[in-house]
C-alpha cells in the first residue's frame, strides 16, 4: 500500500484506541452495611458479595504495544497466541504479555485483521530483549504477519525491526512510509514487514482482585465474567492463563532461593493450620491480575472486573497487597466501588 494510506490508517488506529480509553464505566448499585465494626468503616456489598476493605498493591513497569496483522483470523490467532506465550509474570518470564484488543481491517495500518499486544517488563533494557526475542521467534516465523509500533508518539524507543532485519542476510530493504521507518525482510511466503523501532512508556503492573467462591465451579465462572469485562477495555491486559491465576503469591519464601511463594492466607487446604483471610463461606479462591498503561486504566479494569465477578455463590472479593511496602500504587476497593456519601 502507499505511504498516504499507511499514515491515514495508522492515525485512525490511534484515534480508535483513544476513543475506547475515554469510554466511561457504567456504574451499578453498590450497597454498604452501616452496622460494620471494622475500623469504623461500613461494610460494602455488590448484591450478596462482600467487598473487603482492603487494597490492591501495584508497581511501575515499562511497556510496549505492538500491532500485529495477518492474512486472516486463523493466522492472526496463531501469531498472538505464540507471542503471548510464557508471558504470565515477571517473576519468572522475560515479560508479562497479553492481548489488549482485536482490531478490524479498518483499524490497522495495512488494512488487514489485526490485534494490539502489550508487553510489560521491569526495565527498558529487559523489555527490549523480550520484544526482540518474541518478535523474532513468534511473529517473524508465523505466516503472513506484519508488525507495527503501537506507541508511535513515545520518545523512548527500543529496536523492533532493527534487530530482526538481519535475518534478511543483506537482502532486506528499508523504506519510509508516512514518516515511519520500516524493514521488508524476504521470507518464503513473500515479505515480512516490520517497523524499525517500538515505543516504550511507563505503565502499571500487578493490579488485582481475589474472587472467593463457595465452590470451584462458581468461582471459575465468576473469574471468567471478570476477565471478559476487562477484555472490553483498552489499555489493559490480564497476562495469566485465561486471565486468571490460582497460584497467588507473597514476597519471599522459607526457601532462601525463592523470591515468591504461595499466599497461604488464601489457600483453603491450609485453613486451620495457618492464619486465614478466606471468607468463612469460601472454599476456593482465584485471582485476576491486571497490567495497564496508566493508573486510571488499571483502576477502571479492577472496577469493571469486580462488578462483573460479584454475584451468587461469591461471598467475598478481596485484593492482594504487600503491606504497602512494595508498590507505588494502592487501589482501595471501597474507593473504587463505593459512594463516599454512604459511608458511616
Say if 3-16+61-200 and 28-59+204-342 have the same CATH topology: yes
pLDDT-based confidence at residue 339 (cuts at 50, 70, 90): low
111 by Cβ neighbours in 10 Å (0-12 / 13-18 / 19+) ranks as middle
Average confidence (pLDDT) over 157-182: 96
User: What confidence category does residue 294 fall into, taking pLDDT thresholds of 50, 70 and 90?
Assistant: very high
- State whether residue 62 is helix, strand or coil: strand
pLDDT tens profile 300-313: 999 999 999 999 99
Q: Please enumerate in sequence order all residues whose Cβ is within 8 A of that of 80, keeping only pairs 6 or more positions apart, or say none.
A: 68, 99, 115, 117
Per-residue confidence band for 123, with pLDDT thresholds at 50, 70 and 90: very high
CB 80 within 8 A of CB 117: yes
Mean pLDDT of 230-237: 98
User: Which of the four pLDDT bands, split at 50, 70 and 90, describes residue 278?
Assistant: very high
The predicted-structure confidence for 1-39, as pLDDT tens digits, reads as follows: 443 333 334 444 334 333 333 433 333 444 444 333 344
pLDDT band at 338, cuts 50/70/90?
confident
Q: Where are the domains of the chain?
A: 3-16+61-200, 28-59+204-342
3-state helix, strand, coil in the chain (%, to 5): 30, 35, 35
For the chain, what percent of residues have pLDDT higher than 70? 86
- Rounded to an integer, the average pLDDT of 176-195 is 97
105 pLDDT more than 60:
yes
- Answer for the pair 50, 43: CB distance below 8 angstroms, yes or no: yes
Mean pLDDT, rounded, for 109-119: 98
Total-model pTM? 0.87
When mean pLDDT is compared across 39-43, 98-102, 148-152, 161-165, the lowest value belongs to 39-43
If we measure between CA atoms, which residue out of 36, 5, 26, 96 comes closest to residue 334?
Answer: 36
Q: With cut-offs at 50, 70 and 90, classify the pLDDT of residue 298.
A: very high
Confidence band, pLDDT 50/70/90 cuts, at residue 341: very low
Q: Which candidate, 62, 21, 65, places its Cα nearest to that of 205? A: 62
For the domain covering 3-16+61-200, report its CATH number: 3.30.70.520
Task: Using alpha carbons, list the distances in angstroms from residue 310 to 30, 60, 148, 168.
Answer: 11, 28, 38, 52
Mean predicted confidence (pLDDT) in 236-248: 97
Mean pLDDT of the chain: 88
Closest listed residue to residue 188, CA positions, set 143, 145, 138, 135: 143
Helix (H) or strand (E) holding 222: helix 216-231
Task: For residue 200, give the C-alpha cell.
Answer: 516504550
Q: Candidates 3.40.50.1110, 3.90.1300.10, 3.10.25.10, 3.30.70.520; correct CATH number of 28-59+204-342?
A: 3.30.70.520
Segment 248-271 mean pLDDT: 93
Amino acid at each position: 500500500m502507499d505511504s498516504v494510506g499507511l499514515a491515514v490508517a495508522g492515525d485512525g488506529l490511534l484515534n480508535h484506541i483513544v476513543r475506547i480509553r475515554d469510554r466511561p464505566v457504567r456504574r451499578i448499585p453498590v450497597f454498604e452495611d452501616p452496622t460494620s465494626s471494622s475500623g469504623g468503616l461500613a461494610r460494602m456489598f455488590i448484591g450478596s458479595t462482600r467487598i473487603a476493605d482492603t487494597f490492591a498493591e501495584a508497581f511501575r513497569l515499562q511497556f510496549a504495544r505492538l500491532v500485529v496483522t495477518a492474512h486472516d483470523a486463523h493466522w492472526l490467532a496463531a501469531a498472538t497466541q505464540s507471542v503471548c506465550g510464557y508471558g504470565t509474570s515477571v517473576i519468572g518470564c522475560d515479560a508479562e504479555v497479553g492481548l489488549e484488543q482485536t482490531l478490524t481491517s479498518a483499524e490497522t495500518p495495512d488494512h488487514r485483521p489485526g490485534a494490539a499486544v502489550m508487553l510489560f517488563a521491569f526495565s527498558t533494557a529487559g523489555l527490549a530483549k523480550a520484544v526482540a526475542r518474541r518478535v523474532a521467534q513468534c511473529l517473524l516465523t508465523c505466516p503472513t504477519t506484519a508488525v507495527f509500533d503501537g506507541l508511535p508518539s513515545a520518545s523512548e524507543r527500543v529496536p523492533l525491526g532493527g534487530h530482526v532485519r538481519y535475518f534478511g542476510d543483506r537482502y532486506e530493504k528499508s523504506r519510509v512510509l508516512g514518516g515511519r521507518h520500516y524493514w521488508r525482510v524476504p521470507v518464503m511466503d513473500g515479505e515480512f514487514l516490520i517497523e524499525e523501532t517500538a515505543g516504550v512508556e511507563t505503565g502499571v503492573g500487578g493490579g488485582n482482585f481475589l474472587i472467593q467462591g463457595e465452590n470451584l465451579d462458581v468461582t471459575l465462572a465468576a473469574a471468567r465474567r471478570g476477565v471478559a469485562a476487562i477484555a472490553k477495555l483498552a489499555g489493559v491486559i490480564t497476562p495469566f492463563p485465561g486471565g486468571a491465576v490460582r497460584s497467588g503469591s507473597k514476597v519471599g519464601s522459607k526457601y532462601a532461593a525463592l523470591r515468591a511463594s504461595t499466599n497461604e492466607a488464601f489457600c483453603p487446604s491450609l485453613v486451620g493450620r495457618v492464619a486465614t483471610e478466606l471468607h468463612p463461606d469460601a472454599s476456593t479462591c482465584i485471582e485476576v491480575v491486571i497490567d495497564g498503561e496508566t493508573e486510571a486504566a488499571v483502576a477502571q479494569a479492577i472496577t469493571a472486573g469486580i462488578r462483573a465477578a460479584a454475584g451468587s455463590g461469591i461471598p467475598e472479593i478481596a485484593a492482594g497487597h504487600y503491606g504497602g511496602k512494595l508498590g507505588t500504587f494502592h487501589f482501595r476497593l471501597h474507593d473504587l466501588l463505593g459512594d463516599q456519601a454512604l459511608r458511616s
